[in-house]
Amino acid sequence: MSPDVDAILYRLAGMFNERSGFGVTDDTFHALSMLHRLGEPTWFALGDMDIGLHLLRSRLVHSGMRLTEAVADIAHRLAIDAAVLPMSDEPVRTRVLTDDGDLAMQRWFVEQKCAPPVRSLRYEGIEAAQPAPEVVQAVHDADAVVIGPSNPVLSIDPILTLLAPHLDRRRVIVVSPIVGGRSLKGPTVEMLRDLGEEPTTTGVAKHYARIARTVVIDPVDSATQA
Amino acid sequence: MSPDVDAILYRLAGMFNERSGFGVTDDTFHALSMLHRLGEPTWFALGDMDIGLHLLRSRLVHSGMRLTEAVADIAHRLAIDAAVLPMSDEPVRTRVLTDDGDLAMQRWFVEQKCAPPVRSLRYEGIEAAQPAPEVVQAVHDADAVVIGPSNPVLSIDPILTLLAPHLDRRRVIVVSPIVGGRSLKGPTVEMLRDLGEEPTTTGVAKHYARIARTVVIDPVDSATQA
């Protein structure tokens, strides 16, 4: 599973489930209902159409494709023109060390609904991972690299751990995920606070200071401009 | 996939799709519709609930279970009391050599609708396969071994290739799949004819002569009794 890469594929193909925030719109959950009957945990609501895509990707990767190639193949099959590039061909799994133990990221996020306070994050496999050649080439060729308003520690930092050496700070633009002290989506404010960072637009700017020269903020935060 | 073992599991669990002859009753095909959208062949109508069971079995086998153990685990989860035993823990794939080429059994059966005449059958992997200890024990302990009215060459022969040395002919009973010159189900008559065997109750009795002492036939075939 690569829920974030898939979210981008589904969005670009016009199939993204906006309401749930992942997977395919109007998906059904009959494979999951069978797994439930078989006594399996079903806290991760993987839809049937979503499983169809996972089955193809597994087959492509098992047949010898790198993940980057498999994602490009799937994007092509969905008539997506944009280049969708995972950060690496090697698996990297985010672990969340919480007051309730060391949890897989999706287990903390989905099953535990982000409730257990976060002590630290760990990216399992990151030491062995390399950015794929395609993604290194893409950031070298880019006029600008825009970092979306996503969770800086949960979603962006693992990518930066691999890609920071290849980024030209002058061409990197961050869109702040915090507006007026609240996160646009998800538990960004709570996580930054738990991890001892400043959960504000200023905190975001500090977090990315070594990576990006430009931070896009909302007019309501204009007083925080340096 | 193990469609025949699954058919037995589904039947014993009261979920078998009698109408299609495989899979789960009232299943949906949304994973398949995604695979179709992604340009994959979808001639094998694998349902969403069916995929749920396949995903669990794959996980169990990848986690180190033998196929026999995985099937027993799934049967237990479905509250099935009977012992459901595959013939082997090793994969064996039936290939059908036809006038249109060498086809995987399901491709000939499902995609080609049994149309290409059959020249011979081959069981890929059978040289390396062993019957699982559980199935050897089961036929040794059995008061009787009943071979159902299935296709002798397509369905039963691969099993007998492995199990014949462990069968006591006096305790083996075959139920004829041919009644009054017609097969109860599927292309048994056509296949036996294509392969140069006699497509009658008598032909069935000859086919199993070295394996079984008793052949159960329908009263309409009573004139064929030896």
Give exposure, B124-160, as e/b (b: 16+ Cβ within 10 Å): eebeebebbebbbebbeeeeebebebbbbbbbbbbbb
> Per-residue pLDDT for A215 more than 90?
yes
Between CA B94 and CA A168 the distance in angstroms is: 57
Of residues A110 and B142, more confidence is placed in B142
Residue in B35, B50, B77 closest to A52 by CB: B35
- Are A51 and B56 inside 8 Å of each other by CB? no
Q: What is the mean pLDDT of residues A95-118?
A: 88
Helix (H) / strand (E) containing A37: helix A30-37
Between CA B165 and CA A35 the distance in angstroms is: 38
Q: SS3 for A110?
A: helix
Q: What is the mean pLDDT of residues A137-156?
A: 94
Q: What is A3-77's CATH number?
A: 1.10.8.240
Q: What is the mean pLDDT of chain A?
A: 92
Torsion of CA A204, A206, A209, A210, to 10 degrees: -110
Question: What pLDDT is attached to residue B205?
Answer: 93
CATH class of A133-224: alpha beta
- Are A51 and B47 inside 8 Å of each other by CB? no
Residue A111: C-alpha distances to residues A25, A37, A71, A198, B225 (Å)? 21, 19, 27, 27, 65
| Confidence grade of residue A1 (pLDDT, cut at 50, 70, 90) | low
> Per-residue pLDDT for B223 more than 80?
no
Query: How many whole angstroms from its chain centre is CA B30?
Result: 26
Q: What is the mean pLDDT of residues A23-35?
A: 95
Q: SS3 for A90?
A: coil
Q: What is the mean pLDDT of residues B160-187?
A: 94
Q: What is the mean pLDDT of residues A91-113?
A: 88
> Per-residue pLDDT for A106 more than 90?
no
Helix (H) / strand (E) containing A59: helix A48-62
Question: What pLDDT is attached to residue B176?
Answer: 95
Between CA B151 and CA B154 the distance in angstroms is: 5
All structural domains of chain B with their residue ranges: 3-77, 93-124, 133-224
| Confidence grade of residue A63 (pLDDT, cut at 50, 70, 90) | very high
> Per-residue pLDDT for B221 more than 90?
no
DSSP string computed for B32-60: HHHHHHTT----S---HHHHHHHHHHHHH
The ipTM estimated for the assembled molecules is 0.83
Question: What pLDDT is attached to residue A225?
Answer: 56
| Confidence grade of residue A109 (pLDDT, cut at 50, 70, 90) | confident
Which of A2-6, B117-121, B134-138 has the highest average model confidence (pLDDT)? B134-138
Which positions in chain B touch A52 (Cβ < 8 Å)? 30-35, 38
Question: What pLDDT is attached to residue B61?
Answer: 95
Question: What pLDDT is attached to residue B109?
Answer: 84
Question: What pLDDT is attached to residue B160?
Answer: 95
> Per-residue pLDDT for B32 more than 90?
yes
Residue in A47, A48, A77 closest to B39 by CB: A77
Give the model confidence (pLDDT) of B40-68 as tens digits. 988 888 999 999 999 999 999 999 999 99
Question: What pLDDT is attached to residue A51?
Answer: 95
Which positions in chain A touch B47 (Cβ < 8 Å)? 30
| Confidence grade of residue B224 (pLDDT, cut at 50, 70, 90) | low
Which positions in chain A touch B44 (Cβ < 8 Å)? none
In a mutational test of the B interface, the residue from A6, A26, A30 whose CB has the highest number of chain B CBs within 10 Å is A30
Q: What is the mean pLDDT of residues A99-112?
A: 87
- Are A51 and B31 inside 8 Å of each other by CB? yes
